[in-house]
Structure 1
Amino acid sequence: MEKKLYYDATQELCSSLDLEISLQRYFEIVKQHIPIDGIYLNIYRPEFSDIQFLAHVNEQQASALNTQIQISAEMEDTLRQSDRPIIKIVNDIHQDMVTKFVAPKVIPEIKSLILLRMVSGNTHLGIVGFYSKTASVFRTKHADMIAPHMHTFSLITAFNLKDRNLLKANQSLTEQNRSLKRAIFTPNGVVGGEAGLNKVMQQVKAIAKLNTTVLLQGETGSGKEVIANAVHELSPRVERPFIKVNCGAIPESLIDSELFGYEKGAFTGAEHRKEGHFEQANGGTIFLDEIGELPLSAQVRLLRVLQNSTITRVGGYENVQLDIRVIAATHRNLKAMVHKGEFREDLWYRLAIFPIEIPSLRQRRSDIPLLVQHFLELLCAKLNLNKLPRVSPEQLESLNQYQWPGNVRELINVIERAMIQSPEGPLNFDFLHVKQEGEVEIKSGETIVVDPSHASDKLVPLDTMISKYIAHAMRITGGKLYGTGGAAELLDINPNTLKSKMKKLGLC
């Protein structure tokens, strides 16, 4: 029944560009399942310190509103709290400080209500109020029916604000409008989750509800942070902090104080106690990107955190207990680093409980059209363009034929360059295929860099070079030899011939 209600309600909410009309149609559906006398919709405007009512519907009428109500600084602090629930039952209006002050000024007869927050990222956008003239009528089952409608309400509200030219007064809502649209059509922000990343998303859904440590592996720019976001968003910790740390960007001398915090007086300049990244993430998730860049000394301390779920601040003696979920990511081969003594074996086993291998862009070319559309929408806002520039089928095929050594990160940079060059469109990506010095064209029309100028005059045996090149091919394919995207296909060689060469060279 809930699935049918969600489908019917979404259809009605999206049935008209007039907010009050779509709200009226939605009301007719929802009142059959929930004991409501009406619905109102308002937004919080931090730049004006007020709440603006946009629409109200009941049995008698549906009307667009333009009523602004000033609120106190204390009320604003309440609205800015990131841990407020998405949906809340208020069976006595006096239980909610903001609502008891604001709502009766527009709808005096309200006695109880369900508040559905409209949220974009961590930003509170506004409220949909489902109200009754009778106290204490709402139950948890009613809230559960309404909760899935949050993203749709957020989207149509953002569109309505744009039509009223109110978005010009609050530029942040422009990006919220786009991000909310993406939230509906790209679940968890993962473009290709139903296509090239389908296997990855199945793994994400399987592990997200647990507290197990996750290790994301993939080439630079392949989207490890996006998948980390998806794990957090699908987990029970979604309303708690999500702290992202680039381990490769922290100087070795600052690693301890950045990760674990410090006590006042721990060193010169430590004028007050500071929480480190782990403590900031307590109750939520910490994402340790480029984990392979941590020096061995820091790896020892990280292992202790994973084993004991405690940290000790620099200059302190007290153990701080943590409730935390760890997601790590790397583009490096940690197993090979273990063999070389560059990465601790015990830490590797702690991190690799549930490894997820993220395919490179060239291994999921079917996602390129989806990603292109996604990035066009993102960059339109960044470049302040009024409409999306066109991409011809020929140019899209050109993108599809490219090797993408920089993966998704390179794709967005390429699209931005093309949009800067031709903001009105059509976009042209021919610059991708201009051969530079040291590049060799292969028969598919793609190019790779083979630059002898980087080699010394001391040459190595040809078999050694072939061995290294095959090993590199196996690394970038994740050890896949046969089939689409396998090393044999990339090297344009019969798989059995390649396997024989590998045996001869001692690679298998």
Structure 2
Amino acid sequence: MNSSKNTRQDTAFIHEVTQRLYSTLQIEKALHSTLLFLREHMPADSLNAGIFDPTTGMLQYLASATCLGGMLIDERLQLSEKGIRDTEHYAIGKAHIDKHPWGTQVSGEIAEHFRLFHEDFPGFDVAGDFSTLTLTVGIGVPRFGYFNILAHGLNQFSEKHRRMMNLLERPLTGAALNLWHYRKVVTLNEHLVRTNDLLLNRLGHIAATEVIGTETGLHGVITLAKQVADTNAPVLITGETGTGKEVVAHAIHRLSRRKNHPMICINCGAIPETLMDSELFGHERGAFTGASSRKRGYFEQADGGTIFLDEVGELSAAAQVKLLRVLQEHAIRRVGGNRSIPLDVRVIAATHRNLPALAEEGRFRRDLWFRLNVFPIHIPPLRERTADIPALAEFFAARKAREMNVSEKPVFAAGAFDLLKSYHWPGNIRELENLIERSLIICQGSPLHFDNLSPSTPSLSEKREGEEEAFPSLESITIRHILKALRKSGGRIEGPGGAACLLDLNPSTLRGKIKKYGISK
């Protein structure tokens, strides 16, 4: 009779937990409701759920609930080698009791992490003693899910509580899978939103995945890219503006083991200094006025993949310090947050500036340059790889024709390639692309020719700087003044001695004018 009664009670217990876990699509509310029910049967002050990957030693918290409510989180803890070995104590489907925070190496490292970074953990005093009851569940090799119940005080859980936790393996397995898939969807959605923004911003520019000249002018560059791709070493790509540094960065990412993970591209010179921390590292809710929700920064979005920092020489001194810390510690801290978030991100940086010279002048941190310059790749200017010009011109002509809905395949007039090869291309590939587009518009279906181009033809910015008019226009004066400031500042826009400071302009305003007038730095 007692056996039958116990079976009915167990069934009712499992049924009620299952109902609460799957009663709503809001996972944090379901976890809170489940905790409140469990408190009727055992000590339970906090219920936490997450994923562990034994191949990397990364413990990832996905959701947590206390008596005050539930919340979705994305917090990672890198276990020590001893901690990883210690996870063998936690067999799948068998609840494990830790009588105190240091019951095992794993529980001790988790306790230490929360005491360091979660002094304000809502509804639970992480500074005091507590016991844990943990159940691991299989969700597919190599990862497994886990749920643990925390209770204030030492030695709070009994064999009865262990048996009750074991009863919940099936419903908790499903809940762990739901949480894991939900986190993957959120991460993918963030990546898609970011990718869409990048594509919209890049519309009309060179395709980021197309490398032309791999057998000619860029043969050495691509050889280096292949050598470094499968490592985690930081890469510094240098070269003049418009040489295709981002294209090479994408090639490295595609050739690496990270190719199926995000690649986030950032133009450091385009982010206002006041927003730099929030954009790169994210922020917590309430970190500043207008921060109505938590935001994951670009580094977090790139976790597992690659982050490309274009124009890294434009970073402010404060941002340089924080980037150096990320490279050293492989972790970030959100604005307004008090915990470090470990990350697995490959950093590729690019600049057209002379970073060693800037370091000598004290305008770029020497230690940061050393960190970034582990594997330098220099991209030659277009005038040094003229053998690539015909292929580049044909590529741009075909792509621009599609964009302009030109039905016939563009052809080039006799001698056109020789003329293109003889030009010095101060604007590099970007200038060639613009020239091809302009020619498509002018030639109206006839063979593309470049009669106005000669070896001595100045570029657009050079023309504007050198023209003398009977009465110069306001635009020409403005352009010449900006160019003078850029020369004096060595091309630097922000910071002391930067062009914006010399012109008494907001850096964002100056960038807008440079873009408006087509000025090449």
Q: Which has the larger radius of gyration?
A: 2
What is the TM-score when the length of structure 2 is the normalising length? 0.48
Q: TM-score, normalised by structure 1?
A: 0.50
